[in-house]
């Protein structure tokens, strides 16, 4: 049987890159701490979350700028921020995304194998 978590970790090791996550706090502000995590990112056509796709007469429209894949222990939440090309030393040239939707991809016995996150660009 295929071990999805191990396969996913191999994909991240071979194809992933590091980003920083800034968590949203219960009061709506964002934490001053940044978490460095490894992810796999694809463009907006990579996957469709539950509310990501709208159907129009012209075709389907995906309303996310990018889709990220995270390991099971990351637990992303709507409202978190993801920073691409970010350095804690030099903070000029980076891209910031806001998490709009998170979907847990579950395996046997309902355990989370990985997360799929739809984001929109803020900066």
pLDDT digits (tens, 9 = 90+) for 42-71: 755 444 444 555 566 655 555 678 889 999
Phi, psi (deg, nearest 5) at residue 112: -75, 125
Measure the N-to-C terminal CA separation of the chain; round to a whole number of Å. Answer: 43
In degrees and rounded to multiples of 5, residue 107 shows phi and psi of -120, -145
**For residues 100 and 120, is the Cβ–Cβ distance under 8 A?**
yes
Vertex 8: Cα angle to 7 and 12 (nearest 5): 120
Looking at the DSSP assignment, which residues form a beta bridge with residue 43? 66
The pLDDT tens digits for 8-25 are 888 888 888 899 999 999
Mean pLDDT of the chain: 82
């Amino acid at each position: 049987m295929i071990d999805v978590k191990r396969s996913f970790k191999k994909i991240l090791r071979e194809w992933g890159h590091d980003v920083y996550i800034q968590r949203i706090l219960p009061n709506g502000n964002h934490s001053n701490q940044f978490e460095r995590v490894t992810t796999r990112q694809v463009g907006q056509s990579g996957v469709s979350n539950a509310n990501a796709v709208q159907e129009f007469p012209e075709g389907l429209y995906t309303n996310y700028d990018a889709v990220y894949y995270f390991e099971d222990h990351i637990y992303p939440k709507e409202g978190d921020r993801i920073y691409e090309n970010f350095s804690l030393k030099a903070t000029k040239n980076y891209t910031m995304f806001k998490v709009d939707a998170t979907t847990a991809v579950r395996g046997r016995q309902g355990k989370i194998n990985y997360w799929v996150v739809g984001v929109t660009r803020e900066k």
